[in-house]
Chains A and B, each alone.
Chain A
């Protein structure tokens, strides 16, 4: 009797101590994420983490941006653009319901876009929605959008989280109780710890959704991310911050390592308005001092593709411009002398928190030192960087940051942007890109624009970063490339 009791007690102990994740693997997954979203409404707050949790999972958009950056139908079954690319007509999918039972129709789309463009809107892409002169719903399945200017990328832009279609009645509480048309609903959210998404049984294509439960754990510490993967606590870690431990995961047969491209551009921003940086020769000197290969090695452990302009490989009209201001320290010194700059030239280099910026900053300072430029490094936290460098007084000479928005050449036309770049020629060129409806013509002009920015040395264009996603070998359907921050859980499944 006693013996049996001992055995039972031992068995209970073993059961209690054994890892809980070992069971019920087939239809649920635990995902690690670096940052926790502040609220779950991507249409009223901007954090990328919101989209990573909700986009295509809880909320859906008219269009869907695929792994390769192409656009396919989602809530819209088809669309048509006018020849001047100023008006678009979207046909909506029929019979779709919101998770609270309300019907999805053109009224919801109209509501969503008008809300995003309203005066008190806090949508990150407010400008896009304010550029919509009119959003009309001639019938329940049709949406007509008239734009103030032509926009060739509208179908792509409407596939982003900021263009999520919300339901009018539940919209105000979406941050805490999200309601969309997507395959998952919010289960529980233990703030600071984890969040669960449950499969919505009434989803229009529920049979295709394999995972019935997705648990997302928020783990910001790189060492903890590694431990969580190694111990099997999490099955996948999309876009983790553990580049330095990549070799370990590559060698481990339990894991698949996905290294994917992005639409992001990591650059040294040069404050074009400040003396002597307003002189193109000084900016060219800075670019000539930068060895991109060494920079990529030092900043992101080699996980980047060199770029010569504000545009990434794989996008429409991409041209390689890395040879316009190639690495040439001797030329850099000559350019500085030509510009009449007395060396050593003192410049401030104010860096935001991410590792690529801090590590890249060290590399940059060392490279600049060789041509007689002394970069004084100052490390800032995000809030300070945003309020002093990016906004407000633009108090900096140089900084390093990754611009993650796709297709944002337009930033070089904005007069008050922190680039400080002013060029009438570029403004005109950009306008003609926007006004050119045919793709081939636009591609050519886009090439010209890239070359112009590179020639003007408008910024120190460094590299296109790559994201590292580490997953359990048996997990299938996880995207390698991510044109925007998202996780399409509906396409995931266990082998």
Chain B
């Protein structure tokens, strides 16, 4: 007896790719992916450079401020190399990128790589923490509501997610601060102490921001999960599995979930990319030293060398996240072959 649609299909599909061909196709796939990555980055670099260069004002003027003597501003312009022609500055930057030397921040005077690295030690843990919370909340809510479709629990939880989606996360963040920092004084209202004093103080400071970010994202993801699970529940193989005597729970956990994961994973990939770059509002509310604020401040200060490199990094990260999601598709659903993506 053939068990489920999934297993049935795997047998059929396995016939096609000859075993020896798989590694070769995999490397072609990787090569193609790398080339796309490179082309995207080069294109992005050109656009980033030109767009940022069109901004009025420059770093020397910003650093020296309004009251500085014009002579001093000129001296700084030369010192920062801002007086060189456009093409030369672009090539200089590209050369730096290739050789791994990102240059020094105009404002801080320290290496850009160091600045970005410092920010990533906060941004990445926050993104992971928020994504973890999002996943747990969303999957629990999504599966629960789908399994109890149209019952009171489903309606209740789905109304909550409706509220969650409507909630502006910065406002929710302020509510969290008012309760946990101002009223109860359990957690600090913001800031990030770094990881030097151990993991706990760092995690503690990321707790509220992660919750503020996760609630809104989880609401969205829960709805996606629910509808994906509901779709799969209507499939023929679910009926077959039930017919062969599996309990509802067994069908749900063994067969439905895995099949429902593709859209969920797609949304998760988008959300994670967003958490890496798009958390500036939350960073501001909690005054966290994240990547988003670094970019924002650097644009305001015309510290364009930092902006350019940050945006390049984000572009690369988004491409990598997408790549990981694609690979995960194949892991979850063996019918999908990596080299066909």
Contacts and interface: CB of A to CB of B under 8 A. Distances in A.
B67 A46 contact: yes
Interface in B154-192: 174, 177-178, 181-182, 185-192
Given A193-B288, A224-B285, A217 B191 contact: yes
Contact of B71 (A126, A175, A228): A126
A224 B302 CA distance: 25
B230 interface: no
Contacts of B288: 193
Contacts of A404: 67
Interface stretch (B28-36, B55-63, B213-221): B55-63
A231 interface: yes
A25 to B, nearest CB: 15
Given A16-B200, A227-B181, A228-B189, A190 B56 contact: no
Given A122-B72, A194-B191, A391-B61, A383 B302 contact: yes
Contacts of A382: 57, 62, 300
Chain B contact residues (Cβ within 8 angstroms of A): what range? Answer: 35 or more
Contacts of B110: 176, 191
B241 to A, nearest CB: 44
B79 A220 contact: no
A383 B62 contact: yes
A191 B191 contact: no
Interface in B97-128: 107-110, 115, 118-119
B81 interface: no
B65 interface: yes
Interface in B252-302: 284-290, 293-294, 297, 300-302
Contact of A126 (B69, B201, B284, B286): B69
A403 B65 CA distance: 11
B288 to A, nearest CB: 7
Contacts of B79: 120, 122
A378 to B, nearest CB: 13
Contacts of A388: 56-57
Contacts of A212: none
Nearest to B286: A224
Contact of A17 (B119, B187, B290): B187
Contacts of A381: 300
A401 B65 CA distance: 13
Nearest to B177: A227
A2 interface: no
B68 interface: yes
Nearest to A408: B67
Nearest to A388: B56
A231 B64 contact: no
A207 to B, nearest CB: 30
A190 B115 CA distance: 10
A435 interface: no
Nearest to B55: A383
B115 to A, nearest CB: 6
A175 B289 contact: no
B194 interface: yes
A121 interface: yes
A124 B67 contact: yes
Contacts of B70: 391
Contacts of B65: 46-48, 124
Contacts of B284: 220-221, 224
A231 B289 contact: no
A383 B56 contact: yes
Contact of A387 (B56, B174, B294): B56
A405 interface: yes
A125 B109 CA distance: 21
Nearest to A229: B189
A122 B75 contact: yes
A123 interface: yes
A20 B198 CA distance: 14
B338 interface: no
Nearest to A116: B72
A125 B297 CA distance: 25
B192 to A, nearest CB: 5
B239 interface: no
A203 interface: no
Interface in A89-133: 119-127, 130
A387 B200 CA distance: 46
Interface residues of A, number: 57
Given A119-B75, A176-B109, A176-B110, A227 B189 contact: yes
Nearest to A217: B191
Contact of A127 (B55, B71, B187, B204): B71
Contacts of A221: 284-285, 287
Given A39-B108, A383-B61, A224 B189 contact: yes
A314 interface: no
A36 B289 CA distance: 11
A382 B190 CA distance: 27
A18 B201 CA distance: 11
Interface in A14-67: 16-21, 36, 38-39, 45-48
Nearest to A128: B69
A175 B79 CA distance: 15
A175 B108 CA distance: 8
B76 interface: yes
Interface in A187-215: 190-194
Contacts of A227: 174, 177-178, 181-182, 189-190
B289 A193 contact: yes
B189 A45 contact: no
Contact of A228 (B61, B76, B190, B193): B190
Given A124-B69, A218-B287, A192 B174 contact: no
Given A121-B72, A383-B58, A383-B61, A16 B204 contact: yes
Contact of B69 (A125, A219, A228): A125
A386 B181 CA distance: 39
B289 A191 contact: yes
A250 to B, nearest CB: 17
B88 interface: no
A20 to B, nearest CB: 7
Task: Give 8 nearest A-B pairs by CB, closest first.
Answer: A383-B57, A192-B289, A38-B107, A387-B57, A193-B289, A231-B181, A46-B65, A227-B189
Interface of A: 16-21, 36, 38-39, 45-48, 119-127, 130, 175-176, 190-194, 217-221, 223-224, 227-228, 230-233, 381-384, 386-388, 390-391, 401, 403-405, 408
8 contacts: A19-B185, A119-B75, A127-B69, A221-B287, A224-B190, A228-B189, A228-B190, A387-B61
